[in-house]
């Protein structure tokens, strides 16, 4: 008989702790809810055990459902097997470790699990705890015969009256539960309060955040018997004399004389809080069928249809994985990848729905969740292709969102001056020929094989055939119709190509005060944004921070010391224009390097500048550094200002 791989007992606690750290706050609630949902429950109730509260003032969190329940032998497997929970295990299914790893580390005194089934209508109860050696074990009770004589120890018992812990375990069962499971979280000691969740110093969970977590984690609460699963979280607060909800809420009197109100709060899921007034649509963003559902909430409708007690008051971009939200992000950088500008991101929801990788279709691309159910990655362990998804969405940008951005921008008085844009065009037209990059471009008669990089010749930063100024004509002798692909050379490449030196379009620039989280940077480049200025389309915008001390000092220097008699507003305009042109030139030159052959390895393999290399050159930190100490900028300001404002005062 072969020897099978197993996990030693002494290693289990370390694996559980590692999974706990990877899971993050409130993961235990997700795992408990998911177990209940998979058991067929129509009710999932995060409650507070009342008996111990009334008798001992101990407030313990309970989790109950009316699902199928677990037989005694299944209970033991569920609690004592790391990687087993009675359900199929696979990369697209259950991992059999979630609830245990997320709840046991902060409940070392124990977790009591009571389950009712048709086979065990009076219930079966187990208690798992962490022993003095750090291992997890089931508590044992002595079994006696009808004469009260000791027979043996057992770890599965019927619920009983427990004076030490202030409750009759059999009375926790609510009237609505025929079959189902109850979990009671005991914390670190008999008198631990666990109703607020994990109180580790790195987490400090609260009921408000638990409700917001569940409403944000569940995209939609699934239906059971034609209605959403009734999911409630009981909150607790001191009763006030003016409280008039006695008919809806339960009041429990604690031993110290306090009257506490048990108030249930309903969980509806993220989609419930997207206002019905939202304009909506969907865009397919890759060949695998990944779809981005978008929702734009027009004014004056609030962008979030709920209060701060139930969900965070800002729209979010998430990935939908089997009905749950992963990688939730409300940051500007995520929205900018999709071409959603700052003006409307606060009213736009994005739900990305990629295919799920399955063992049954191993050759198909899909996304997989980490065992902790905290993050996703693509088949083969790759990161999610956010940039590719964003670029594809941008290339098929919904008209409704474009119109909303134009209306929002029309209210903004800081738009780029058309005369600035024309001057910028002249400068870049002169500079571009000097910065042609050597690339491999698709060509029908080409002799170099390669894979499409996603970029196209003649479109600076473009990810598709919609180009700024591209003619759509043949790519030259031996070329292909339409824009030519920039290829990454590879011996097993799917396309033919030939080396070429090319040039492309350019973005524009704009000045604004950066938000606090971005205020350290002088500039930032937003690739997926289009500006139409006097009929000319500019792809990408370089934003410059008008409130940064470096620029404030520059404005003051030129207005106060060089041309103090001139209109300071016009001096400021000149300084902003020259710095803006310089910033755009940096971006254009960096983009020209994409696909550039910079050398060869010892094995004669080509070394190329790729998209990631260019992206790093255009990060806010790198772009900000590029704008420091520019002697040529100072000279250009002096030359142009001399003709406009006259002789400098310190000459």
Which residues face 250 on adjacent strands?
Answer: 262
Q: Which has more pLDDT, 522 or 90?
A: 522
For 391-418, b/e burial (b = at least 16 CB within 10 A) is bbbbbebbeebeebbeeebeeeeeebee
User: Which stretches does DSSP call E strand in 225-316?
Assistant: 227-228, 230-238, 250-253, 259-267, 279-284, 291-296
Handedness of CA 341, 342, 346, 352 (dihedral sign): positive
Match domain 9-268 to its CATH number in 1.20.1410, 3.40.50, 3.30.565, 3.30.420.
Answer: 3.30.565
- Lowest-confidence segment of 7-11, 194-198, 207-211, 628-632 by average pLDDT: 7-11
Range in 285-299, 413-427, 466-480, 557-571 with the lowest mean pLDDT: 466-480
Angle separating helix axes 631-645 and 568-592, nearest 10 degrees: 140
Domain range list for the chain? 9-268, 271-410, 418-428+506-645, 437-502
Q: What percent of the chain has pLDDT over 70?
A: 82
Express as a percent the part of the chain with pLDDT over 90: 56
Q: What is the pLDDT of residue 479?
A: 38
Question: How many whole angstroms separate alpha carbon 26 and alpha carbon 174?
Answer: 24
Tell me the mean pLDDT in the region 619-627.
95
Phi, psi angle pair for 392, to nearest 5° = -65, -40
- Helix (H) or strand (E) holding 554, with range, is helix 549-556
Structure-model confidence comparison of residues 389 and 487, the more confident one: 389
Q: Cβ distance 79 to 114 under 8 Å?
A: no
Kindly report, residue by residue over 20-74, the tens digit of the pLDDT. Answer: 888 889 999 999 999 999 999 999 999 999 999 999 999 999 999 999 999 988 8
The tokens for 442 are: 């698709």
CA 194 to mean position of chain CA atoms:
28
Q: Phi, psi at residue 569, to the nearest 5°?
A: -65, -40
Cβ atoms of 31 and 217 within 8 Å: the answer is no
pLDDT at position 399, please?
93
**Residue among 414, 277, 398, 411 at smallest CA distance from 339:** 398
324 versus 421: which is more confidently predicted?
Answer: 324
DSSP 593-623: TTT-EEEE-TT--EEE--HHHHHHHTSHHHH
Q: Which helix (H) or strand (E) covers residue 545, if one does?
A: strand 536-545
Q: Can you give the pLDDT at residue 478?
A: 36
In this prediction, residue 496 carries a pLDDT of 80
| pLDDT for the residue numbered 367 | 95
Sheet holding 324-329, edge to edge: 279-284, 291-296, 348-353, 317-321, 324-329
Query: Backbone dihedral region of 478: left (phi > 0), alpha (psi from -120 to 50 degrees) or beta?
Result: left
How many other C-beta atoms can be found within 10 angstroms of the C-beta atom of residue 206?
15
What pLDDT, on the 0 to 100 scale, is given for residue 14? 80
pLDDT digits (tens, 9 = 90+) for 300-335: 999 999 999 999 999 999 999 999 999 999 999 999
State the CB neighbour count (10 A cutoff) for residue 48.
22
* Distance from C-alpha of 422 to C-alpha of 415, rounded to nearest angstrom: 14
Q: How far apart are CA 250 and CA 237, in angstroms?
A: 11
The top-scoring range by mean pLDDT among 17-31, 136-150, 198-212, 430-444 is 198-212
**Greater pLDDT, 435 or 248:** 248
Cα–chain center distance at 393: 17
| Residue 543 β-bridge partners | 510, 524
- Closest CA relative to residue 447, chosen from 412, 489, 476: 489
The pLDDT assigned to 412 comes to: 57
Q: Look at residue 357 and tell me whether its pLDDT is greater than 50.
A: yes
Tokens of 328: 């939730």
pLDDT for 16: 84
Peptide bond into 355 cis (omega under 30): no
Spell out the long-range contacts of 562-571 with Cβ–Cβ below 8 A and sequence spacing 24 or more.
Answer: 562/638, 562/641, 562/648, 562/649, 562/650, 563/641, 563/645, 563/646, 563/648, 563/649, 564/649, 565/645, 565/646, 565/649, 566/644, 566/645, 566/646, 570/644, 570/645, 571/641, 571/645
Split at pLDDT 50, 70, 90, the class of 649 is: confident
Distance CA 305, CA 271 (A): 10
The conformation of residue 39, written as its DSSP 8-state character, comes to T
What does the DSSP assignment read for 358-376? -TTSTTS--EEE-TTSS-E
Could you tell me the end-to-end alpha-carbon distance of the chain, in angstroms, rounded to an integer?
Answer: 95
As a whole number of angstroms, the distance between CA 513 and CA 616 comes to 23
Higher pLDDT, 599 or 270: 270
491 pLDDT exceeds 80?
no
**pTM of the predicted model as reported, rounded to 2 decimal places:** 0.78
């Amino acid at each position: 008989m072969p020897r099978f791989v197993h996990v030693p007992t002494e290693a289990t606690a370390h694996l559980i702790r590692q999974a706990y750290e990877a899971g993050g706050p409130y993961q235990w609630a997700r795992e408990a809810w998911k177990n209940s949902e998979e058991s067929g429950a129509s009710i999932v109730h995060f409650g507070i055990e009342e008996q111990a509260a009334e008798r001992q003032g101990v407030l313990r969190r309970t989790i109950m459902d009316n699902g199928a329940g677990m037989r005694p032998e299944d209970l033991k497997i569920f609690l004592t097997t790391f990687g087993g929970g009675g359900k199929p295990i696979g990369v697209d299914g259950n991992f059999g470790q979630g609830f245990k790893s997320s709840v046991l580390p902060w409940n070392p005194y124990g977790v009591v699990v009571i389950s009712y089934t048709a086979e065990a209508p009076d219930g079966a109860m187990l208690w798992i705890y962490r022993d003095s050696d750090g291992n997890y074990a089931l508590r044992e009770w002595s079994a006696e015969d009808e004469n009260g004589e000791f027979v043996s120890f057992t770890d599965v018992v019927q619920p009983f009256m427990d004076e030490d812990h202030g409750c009759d375990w059999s009375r926790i069962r609510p009237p609505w539960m025929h079959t189902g499971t109850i979990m009671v979280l005991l914390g670190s000691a008999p008198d631990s309060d666990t109703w607020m969740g994990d109180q580790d110093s790195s987490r400090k969970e609260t009921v408000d955040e638990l409700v917001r977590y569940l409403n944000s984690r569940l995209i939609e609460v699934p239906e059971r018997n034609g209605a959403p699963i009734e999911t409630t979280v009981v909150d607790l607060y001191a009763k006030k004399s003016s409280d008039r909800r006695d008919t809806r809420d339960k009041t429990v009197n604690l031993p110290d004389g306090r009257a506490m109100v048990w108030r249930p709060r309903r969980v509806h899921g993220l989609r419930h809080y997207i206002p019905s007034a939202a304009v909506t649509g969907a865009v397919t963003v890759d060949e695998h069928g990944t779809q981005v559902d978008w929702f734009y909430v027009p004014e004056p409708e609030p962008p979030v249809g709920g209060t701060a007690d139930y969900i965070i008051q800002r729209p979010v971009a998430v990935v939908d994985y089997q009905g749950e939200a992963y990688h939730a992000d409300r940051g500007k950088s995520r929205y900018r990848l999709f071409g959603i500008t700052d003006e409307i991101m606060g009213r736009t929801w994005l739900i990305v729905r990629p295919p799920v990788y399955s063992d049954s279709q191993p050759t198909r691309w899909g996304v997989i969740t980490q065992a902790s159910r905290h993050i996703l990655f693509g088949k083969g362990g790759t990161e999610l292709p956010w940039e590719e998804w964003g670029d594809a969405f941008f290339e098929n940008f919904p008209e409704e969102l474009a119109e909303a951005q134009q209306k929002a921008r029309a209210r903004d008085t800081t738009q780029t001056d058309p005369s600035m844009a024309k001057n910028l065009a002249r400068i870049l037209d002169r500079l571009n020929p000097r910065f042609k990059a050597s690339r491999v471009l698709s060509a029908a008669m080409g002799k170099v094989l390669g894979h499409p990089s996603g970029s196209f010749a003649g479109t600076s930063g473009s990810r598709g055939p919609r180009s700024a100024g591209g003619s759509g004509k043949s790519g030259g002798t031996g070329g292909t119709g339409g824009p030519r692909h920039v290829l990454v050379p590879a011996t097993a490449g799917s396309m033919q190509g030939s080396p070429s030196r090319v040039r492309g379009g350019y973005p524009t620039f704009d000045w604004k005060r950066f938000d606090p989280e971005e205020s350290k940077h002088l500039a930032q480049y937003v690739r997926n944004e289009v500006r139409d200025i006097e009929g000319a389309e500019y792809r990408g915008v370089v934003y410059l921070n008008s409130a940064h001390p470096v620029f404030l000092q520059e404005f003051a220097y030129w207005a106060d010391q060089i041309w103090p008699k001139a209109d300071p507003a016009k001096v400021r305009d000149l300084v902003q224009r020259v710095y803006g042109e310089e910033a755009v030139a940096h971006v254009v030159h960096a983009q020209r390097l994409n696909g550039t052959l910079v050398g060869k390895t010892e094995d004669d393999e080509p070394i190329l500048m790729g998209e990631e290399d260019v992206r790093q050159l255009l990060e806010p930190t790198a772009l900000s550094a590029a704008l420091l100490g520019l002697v040529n900028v100072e000279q250009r300001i002096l030359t142009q200002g001399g003709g406009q404002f006259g002789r400098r005062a310190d000459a």
